[in-house]
Chain A
């Protein structure tokens, strides 16, 4: 697509002003400065956008799956780590149980001490049971949260969100295919910046990188964190069962549960976005587009800086300007899905802050 477009523009730029189309004639035609100037910027814009938006399609296509995804607690990946930590704490368990039993049988000082030891014993054995059940338990937790999430997301149509995200980052409908992924309004911002000064182009594709790369990284991070907490689940159980280390263990268990149930909040965010989009009449929470004639002007302005320089004010313009104008005169950035992405990225922080210390 990129190649096609650049070839197209090159051909236009060369052929139009040159009378003879022999190789020598083309080589000698004096329009190369502008053409290279224009081509470079065009290609830069295309490449950088492709780079910053790669895998956007992937995220959009299986957004719901990405939200629902959970590590398999019974799988070998989690189990390997879990077994390691299990082997790490087994001796500890044995030691503590023997010591407590020994204490109960022989030393057994005050009744209070006895009671304490008994309760400790109980908690230890309980912990052991739970740990031996941990894969089942964890997978049950994961499945529960996944089912809940699915139920919540069933309330809304995810495609609404994805379509609007498409509108923000990707192509709107009825775009020619080769322009498809390059004509959203943010992209046009990027285009303008690149044509002004090629280094500005970098800063205008930062939004894409933050949003799209951020989403990609975030979903994997959640997955990894759940894997971590699942792997050290036995340890947290052990720590939770002692009085001295109860605080630490509580903290760890809380983390486990929070990270597992995080997806629910993502689902809620999705629903919120959907509702906002559905309920808000078109044009609300959006930057109104410039009038059509100004769009045309701007479009020709963008391309015209290049095209006009090569003595063909309109041919270059005609290649892109309808698209540009269409996008410019349609409402610009829709903020709701845009902010929705942010909300999805910020969800963990909120949850960590809000739901601290809910365990006894």
Chain B
């Protein structure tokens, strides 16, 4: 929000009041109870209706409404691009070409290479010179085989990563294209605009009682991006250490760490598919709207006056405060759309975590 504007505005107001304070009209007649009552009523109504409400509505419709249009709608507008974003290691013409990872991978390869050489040399030495029992020999040979094979994979690791990324992206796009964008938009907007409507409805009387919905706006606007960004970062992290993972996976003692690293790499890369599956589920979830017949489906508008809904049906602004800054007559939100929308956002957060938990220890 534009803080300078706010500051200047408020300063102006404050200074004006400061200036005109000494010239205020005299007290009401202290001997006239009705006058006293009127004064009290005037002060209270000024405090609670004439001043506070426009300010709150200013907050809701001047500050939060543009915020909703930019931040709140952001994920709904470009969820596809956000979810399908993948780094590309080798193809410099690709969109997300990311030389950084490639450098890192080569760096970690160079980091691990001496250990390989050491191990191979040692094993060779063992076979040639020490080579006690037969079984020891067999073991050593076995180990040597392993080392060589893993070394091949090791040196090919950028290629492997690239393949995994490309396959996951293609699968995800195939899944996400099954989703109907109109439905996704409908469901997700039902969630975030539903909270916004409730926030406006409650918040105009007292912002404190609408705090939960106001917070949920931030959650819904940022958490999907947070999950996607987290996936992106963790993916890059594990891509960097992928060669190390392969190397450790081939040494017996380090095997567990290596397995963990490989698993995590695979899971974080293919999480994309599950995220897009969540989108698909959301688009299918639109059928939740028809759970109840439309006439029994309870609705809530941001009409803040008893007759608001009536006035709205007549097409006039129904705040009852005609001079309101920019009253936006939002459509009614239904409980079904609100619930399924919020849960759609929750799904975007829950599915990755579920999968992270379900998909562990799958490598031998």
- A, B: real partners: yes
Nearest chain B residue, comparing its CB with the CB of A27: B33
Tell whether B36 is near chain A: CB-to-CB under 8 Å.
yes
**When each residue 4-34 of chain A gets 1 if its CB lies under 8 Å from chain B and 0 otherwise, what string results?**
0000000000000000000010011000000
Tell whether B30 is near chain A: CB-to-CB under 8 Å.
yes
A26 shortest CB reach to chain B, Å: 9
Nearest chain B residue, comparing its CB with the CB of A199: B208
Give the CA-CA distance A27 to B36 in the complex, in Å.
9
Give the CA-CA distance A27 to B38 in the complex, in Å.
13
**When each residue 21-59 of chain A gets 1 if its CB lies under 8 Å from chain B and 0 otherwise, what string results?**
000100110000000000000000000000000000000
| Chain B neighbourhood of A27, CB < 8 A | 33, 36
Give the CA-CA distance A24 to B33 in the complex, in Å.
7
Give the CA-CA distance A24 to B30 in the complex, in Å.
11
Give the CA-CA distance A330 to B36 in the complex, in Å.
46
| Chain B neighbourhood of A24, CB < 8 A | 33
Q: Which of B87-104 contact A (CB under 8 A)?
A: none
| Chain A neighbourhood of B31, CB < 8 A | 28
Give the CA-CA distance A26 to B31 in the complex, in Å.
11
Give the CA-CA distance A147 to B33 in the complex, in Å.
70
| Chain A neighbourhood of B33, CB < 8 A | 24, 27-28
**When each residue 11-44 of chain B gets 1 if its CB lies under 8 Å from chain A and 0 otherwise, what string results?**
0000000000000000000110100100000000
Give the CA-CA distance A27 to B32 in the complex, in Å.
9
Give the CA-CA distance A134 to B30 in the complex, in Å.
82
Nearest chain B residue, comparing its CB with the CB of A24: B33
Give the CA-CA distance A28 to B30 in the complex, in Å.
8
| Chain B neighbourhood of A28, CB < 8 A | 30-31, 33, 36
Give the CA-CA distance A288 to B175 in the complex, in Å.
69
A11 shortest CB reach to chain B, Å: 19
**When each residue 178-210 of chain B gets 1 if its CB lies under 8 Å from chain A and 0 otherwise, what string results?**
000000000000000000000000000000000
Give the CA-CA distance A27 to B29 in the complex, in Å.
13
Q: Which of B298-333 contact A (CB under 8 A)?
A: none
B223 shortest CB reach to chain A, Å: 29
B360 shortest CB reach to chain A, Å: 25
Nearest chain A residue, comparing its CB with the CB of B33: A27
| Chain A neighbourhood of B36, CB < 8 A | 27-28
Nearest chain B residue, comparing its CB with the CB of A23: B33
B18 shortest CB reach to chain A, Å: 25
Nearest chain B residue, comparing its CB with the CB of A26: B33
Nearest chain A residue, comparing its CB with the CB of B34: A27
Give the CA-CA distance A28 to B36 in the complex, in Å.
8
Q: Which of A78-117 contact B (CB under 8 A)?
A: none
Q: Which of B30-61 contact A (CB under 8 A)?
A: 30-31, 33, 36
Give the CA-CA distance A24 to B36 in the complex, in Å.
11
B33 shortest CB reach to chain A, Å: 4
Nearest chain B residue, comparing its CB with the CB of A30: B30
A136 shortest CB reach to chain B, Å: 44
B44 shortest CB reach to chain A, Å: 12
Give the CA-CA distance A28 to B33 in the complex, in Å.
6
Give the CA-CA distance A236 to B208 in the complex, in Å.
50
A144 shortest CB reach to chain B, Å: 43
B278 shortest CB reach to chain A, Å: 32
B36 shortest CB reach to chain A, Å: 7
Nearest chain A residue, comparing its CB with the CB of B30: A28
B169 shortest CB reach to chain A, Å: 43
Give the CA-CA distance A28 to B31 in the complex, in Å.
7
B258 shortest CB reach to chain A, Å: 36
Nearest chain A residue, comparing its CB with the CB of B37: A27
Nearest chain B residue, comparing its CB with the CB of A25: B33
B249 shortest CB reach to chain A, Å: 36
Give the CA-CA distance A102 to B283 in the complex, in Å.
51
Nearest chain B residue, comparing its CB with the CB of A28: B33
A122 shortest CB reach to chain B, Å: 41
Give the CA-CA distance A27 to B33 in the complex, in Å.
6
| Chain A neighbourhood of B30, CB < 8 A | 28
Nearest chain A residue, comparing its CB with the CB of B208: A199
Give the CA-CA distance A24 to B31 in the complex, in Å.
9
Nearest chain A residue, comparing its CB with the CB of B32: A28
A79 shortest CB reach to chain B, Å: 33
Give the CA-CA distance A27 to B30 in the complex, in Å.
11
B343 shortest CB reach to chain A, Å: 27
Give the CA-CA distance A27 to B31 in the complex, in Å.
10
Can you identify 7 A-B contacts, CB atoms within 8 angstroms? A24-B33, A27-B33, A27-B36, A28-B30, A28-B31, A28-B33, A28-B36
Closest 7 CB pairs of A and B: A27-B33, A24-B33, A28-B33, A28-B31, A28-B36, A28-B30, A27-B36
